[in-house]
Amino acid sequence: MPKTANPDAKVQLIPAGLVQKPVLANLLELYTHDFCDFLDLELRPDGRFGYRELDLYWSDPDRHPFLVYVDEKLAGFVFVRGMWNGSHAAIAWDMAEFFIVRSYRRRGVGTGVAHQAFRQFPGNWEMRVMDSNRPAQSFWKEVIAQFVGTAVETHRIERDGKIWEVFSFESKT
């Protein structure tokens, strides 16, 4: 049964420590399963999709893992990654992965969490969304416009044989 919307819900974006790595690994399986709607993904022989970059979120200082809680109940995760040029100057922040459990979607949780992340990492952002993931494109277009107060221009890129819609904006807070 879906949870009812609660406008007074306490939505938190909490840094994930190494002890929470198994929790994130479990949530990544749900997240990856959702992507089967947009990508041809195969389960490994162990029955999991896996996420090969997970360990980097505790060994690379430019990667930041977070858990999402709503009223102290686990509701998703966010991975933020800093992108740099060759001279170690920041280019932009990237929302590498973003997942809200289905029972918390369409309740403002994702918007609140995204805005918290944008405020926590001021500067330039580049959000990449697969061209085939139209629901995510609509979500990010609205969320970013609410955050910056104006419509956001996008551009398309091709990388590794996939087309991406890229949202570029600045977090000034």
Q: Which residue has the tokens 């890129």?
A: 157
Whole-number Å distance between alpha carbons of 62 and 157: 23
> Residue 159: CB partners within 8 Å, gap ≥ 6?
none
Let me know if residue 4 belongs to a domain. Answer: no
pLDDT tens digits for 96-131? 999 999 889 888 899 999 999 999 999 999 888 988
Q: Provide the domain count of the chain.
A: 1
Whole-number Å distance between alpha carbons of 34 and 37: 6
Q: For residue 118, what is the domain's CATH number?
A: 3.40.630.30
Q: Is 99 left (phi over 0), alpha (psi -120 to 50) or beta?
A: beta
Instruction: Report pLDDT for 153.
Output: 83
Let me know if residue 32 belongs to a domain. Answer: yes
Let me know if residue 1 belongs to a domain. Answer: no
Let me know if residue 2 belongs to a domain. Answer: no
- Give the C-alpha distances (Å, rounded to integers) separating 81 from 10, 36, 94: 25, 23, 5
Let me know if residue 31 belongs to a domain. Answer: yes
Cβ distance 84 to 92 under 8 Å?
Answer: no
Residue with the larger pLDDT of the pair 29 and 8: 29
pLDDT tens digits for 36-65? 666 667 767 776 777 888 999 999 999 999
* Global pTM value: 0.86
pLDDT tens digits for 154-171? 889 888 788 889 999 999
Let me know if residue 131 belongs to a domain. Answer: yes
Cβ distance 145 to 127 under 8 Å?
Answer: no
pLDDT band at 91 (very low <50, low <70, confident <90, very high): confident
pLDDT exceeds 80 at position 94: yes
For 135, the domain range is 11-171
